[in-house]
């Protein structure tokens, strides 16, 4: 795919006239997909796709078109350039159009060691035998590329697998697990599925209903991921900060801090997303967003940088983290229940939204494996609860501990193509967590 993309970029270069220039972005993948239901394969297949987005510019005027590459792309490239040239004639100037004019070529191919699709499928069928296991397995290389008329060429290949499974009991009762990475670890998968089956037995007990109130809770990494997803929705973008629409406005304007245990980093170096973005700027290896509880820096895209006269730091247009890392704590996994004592073990959250964006107040529902814990032991599953609390409380003064082990959580989004977004997160014990109903 790399050779094909670079050949297409060279063909585009030959079509340039006068003051024209171009940006070319490539996205491709070769992915195995297997879907399971009732611990049986219901759908299996392979997807290979290659797309090139060509953006033609002349001064501050620009227009783009996306092509599906087939192997003999010269004619399609010529037609696209002609079409965009015609469009450009009637396109107004864009004062915020900012691109990298100093070529910085890069290449990264992440090392990987994946199981074959057949090996992974056999392992999952073995794990799900005798249970109603539902979910999917996706794996294979994801490719991203960039080229421009200044001679810049960038390529990134990230090969990974992603497993999203639920062991289903009945009604709304299920145990959900995620397992992902760049190196297949069958033992780790077995440990996770065995633990899920043990919890499934607990889930079969008579569920408990508790009254609304404030409780000590443990949020598993998958539940923390939901909080981080909401925090990332406008929380770290330069545009959101300069227009005062960020939910973290109190951190910026009033100096409000989270717990000193909380450090958040956009860790591009160790993520699956490429180290370059669509205007040709190179991303720094990392950007510290929150440093020991204090607001540190924004993610600045070229457009926002031009609009607010600030330096850009390689962020994509939506200015949200794509490789978010939360620093680990000191709590060991075997000590979670003992440290929780009496309270609620929350495996997953969903349906989150802001109930008061300006105070970073969130509301949402518990989902799947949520248990009542007494004296460090799981007693019974809990019926669904709604929470409503601020991140300043949850990750501030009420944060008791973060776990030392962290989970790598890859996005399960496969709409149009597999996502390369990731988070690496610990679990969290929180005091005085507000359950409203």
* Residue 127: CATH number of its domain: 3.30.2290.10
How many other C-beta atoms lie within 10 A of the C-beta of residue 429?
Answer: 23
Residue 123 inside a domain? The answer is: yes
Of 230, 192, 128, residue with least CA distance to 405: 192
Q: Is residue 145 part of a domain?
A: yes
User: Do 219 and 321 fall within a single domain?
Assistant: yes
Whether 231 and 379 map to the same domain: the answer is: yes
Enter the DSSP assignment of 38.
T
Tens digit of pLDDT at every position of the chain (437 positions):
999 999 999 999 999 999 999 999 999 999 999 999 999 999 999 999 999 999 999 999 999 999 999 878 889 999 999 999 999 999 999 999 999 999 999 999 999 999 999 999 999 999 999 999 999 999 999 999 999 999 999 999 999 999 999 999 887 789 999 999 999 999 999 999 999 999 999 999 999 999 999 999 999 999 999 999 999 999 999 999 999 999 999 999 999 999 999 999 999 999 999 999 999 999 999 999 999 999 999 999 999 999 999 999 999 999 999 999 999 999 999 999 999 999 999 999 999 999 999 999 999 999 888 999 999 999 999 999 999 999 999 999 999 999 999 999 999 998 889 999 999 999 999 999 999 98
Residue 23 lies in a domain: yes
pLDDT at 66: 96
Helix and strand element counts for the chain (H, E): 10, 18
Domain for residue 271, yes or no?
A: yes
Looking at residue 173, what is its pLDDT? Answer: 84
- CA dist 87 and 221 (Å) reads 48
Amino acid 417: pLDDT: 92
Amino acid 302: pLDDT: 97
Q: What is the pLDDT of residue 367?
A: 86
Indicate whether 367 and 285 sit together in one domain: yes
Round to whole Å and give the CA distance between 128 and 135: 11
Six-digit token pair at 219?
A: 């949020």
Q: What is the model's pLDDT at position 72?
A: 81
Q: In Å, how far are 146, 154, 159, 270, 296 from 107, measured between CA atoms?
A: 10, 6, 14, 15, 30
Q: Are 232 and 221 in contact (CB under 8 A)?
A: no
Whether 22 and 119 map to the same domain: the answer is yes
Shared domain check, 136 and 248? no
Please name the residues in contact with 63: beta carbons below 8 A apart, sequence gap of 6 or more.
55, 56, 84, 87, 88, 91
Domain extent at residue 147? 2-203
Residues 129 and 249 in one domain: no
Buried b (16+ CB within 10 A) or exposed e, 347-380: bbbeebeeeebebbbbbbebbbbbbbbeeeebeb
C-alpha to C-alpha distance for 236 and 153, rounded to whole angstroms: 29
In a domain, 208, yes or no: no
User: What is the distance between the alpha carbons of residues 239 and 247, in angstroms, rounded to a whole number?
Assistant: 12
* 162 and 235 housed in the same domain: no
Same domain, 144 and 262: no
Q: Are residues 375 and 329 in the same domain?
A: yes
* Residue 71, pLDDT score: 77
Instruction: Establish if 163 belongs to a structural domain.
Output: yes
116 part of a folded domain = yes
Predicted confidence (pLDDT) per residue in 227-276, tens digit: 999 999 999 999 999 999 999 999 999 999 999 999 999 999 999 999 99
The verdict on 218 and 245 lying in the same domain is yes
Same domain, 176 and 310: no
Q: Structural domain tally of the chain?
A: 2
């Amino acid at each position: 795919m790399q050779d094909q993309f670079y050949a297409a970029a060279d063909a585009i270069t030959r079509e340039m006239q006068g003051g024209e220039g171009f940006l070319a972005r490539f996205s491709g993948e070769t992915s195995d997909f297997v879907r399971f239901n009732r611990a049986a394969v219901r759908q299996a297949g392979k997807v290979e796709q290659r797309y090139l987005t060509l953006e033609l510019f002349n001064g501050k005027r620009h227009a783009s078109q996306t092509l599906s590459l087939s192997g003999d792309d010269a004619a399609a490239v010529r037609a696209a350039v002609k079409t965009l040239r015609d469009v450009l004639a009637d396109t107004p100037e864009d004062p915020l159009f900012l691109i990298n004019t100093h070529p910085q070529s890069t290449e990264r191919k992440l090392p990987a060691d994946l199981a074959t699709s057949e090996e992974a499928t056999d392992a999952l069928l073995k794990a799900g035998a005798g249970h109603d296991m539902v979910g999917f397995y996706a794996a294979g290389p994801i490719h991203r590329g960039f080229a421009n008329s200044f001679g810049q060429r960038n390529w990134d290949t990230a090969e990974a697998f992603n497993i999203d499974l639920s062991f289903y009991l009945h009604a709304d009762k299920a145990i959900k697990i995620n397992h992902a990475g760049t190196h297949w670890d069958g033992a780790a998968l077995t440990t996770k599925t065995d633990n899920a089956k043990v919890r499934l037995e607990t889930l079969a007990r008579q569920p408990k209903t508790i009254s609304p109130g404030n409780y000590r809770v443990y949020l598993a990494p998958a539940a923390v991921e939901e909080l981080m997803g909401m925090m990332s929705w406008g929380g770290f973008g330069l545009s959101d900060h300069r227009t005062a629409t960020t939910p973290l406005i109190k951190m910026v304007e009033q100096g409000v801090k989270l717990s000193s245990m909380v450090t958040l980093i956009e860790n591009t170096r160790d993520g699956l997303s490429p180290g370059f973005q669509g205007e040709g700027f190179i991303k720094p290896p990392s950007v510290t967003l929150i440093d020991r509880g204090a607001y540190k820096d924004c993610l600045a895209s070229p457009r926002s940088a031009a609009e607010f006269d600030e330096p850009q730091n390689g962020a994509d247009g939506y200015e949200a983290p794509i490789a978010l890392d939360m620093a680990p704590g000191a709590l060991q996994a075997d000590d979670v229940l003992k440290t929780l004592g009496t309270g609620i073990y929350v495996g997953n959250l969903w349906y989150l939204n802001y109930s008061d964006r300006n105070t970073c107040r969130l509301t949402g529902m518990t989902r799947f494996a949520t248990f009542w814990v007494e004296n460090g032991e799981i007693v019974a599953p809990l019926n669904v609860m709604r929470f409503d609390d601020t991140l300043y409380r949850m990750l501030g003064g009420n944060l008791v501990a973060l776990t030392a082990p962290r989970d790598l959580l890859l996005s399960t989004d496969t709409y149009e193509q597999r996502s390369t977004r990731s988070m690496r997160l610990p679990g969290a014990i929180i005091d005085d967590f507000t359950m409203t109903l």
